[in-house]
Amino acid sequence: MHIGSLLSLATHVNLLIIDEQIRRQYVVLHFSRFFLFLKPMSCELIALNISFIINIYACILSLIMLGYQIPALYLNTTFYTPKDYRYNQGLLGNFMAFMGKRGLWTFISPSIRSPLPHDGTKWQTKQAPTTF
């Protein structure tokens, strides 16, 4: 979701930089409501501005969601059991546990096959210290 929103925002910013009429209409829409009555906008420009605003909100919300999920991924815990550190294998180990052997390539394109180091039901845990 976040990558698509960023691409859409980049497209909108590119349009705002290249097309002077869109830039003028955007300034009129967002910074001076009075001028809308003097020179009405076309439906296409209104739709473009609305989709731009929706994409800004989509980027912000996906960044907020990512901020909540990074601690759980870093510690390899869940939100249900946040203090259970049995499955924490370090940053690289946690990353390989949920992304597979080809880690970064899977992050870039989820269609790449990347076998996981476990079967999905039995996870590697930390060894409890043995005392004699």
pLDDT at 38 over 80: no
Asked if 74 and 94 touch (Cβ cutoff 8 Å), the reply is yes
What is the pLDDT at residue 73? 81
pLDDT at 28 over 70: no
Query: When comparing pLDDT for 83 and 6, which is higher?
Result: 83
What is the spatial distance between Cα 74 and Cα 88, in angstroms, rounded to a whole number?
A: 8
- For the chain, what percent of residues have pLDDT higher than 70? 77
Q: pLDDT tens digits for 60-107?
A: 888 888 888 888 888 888 778 878 888 888 888 888 887 888 877 877
First to last CA, the chain: 52
Q: Which helix (H) or strand (E) holds 52?
A: helix 43-75
The closest alpha carbon to 72, from 57, 87, 62, belongs to 87
What is the pLDDT at residue 32? 54
Query: Domain locations in the chain?
Result: 1-70, 76-126
| Mean pLDDT in residue range 49-63 | 80
Asked if 98 and 92 touch (Cβ cutoff 8 Å), the reply is no
Average pLDDT value over all residues in the chain: 74
Token reading at 76: 């390899």
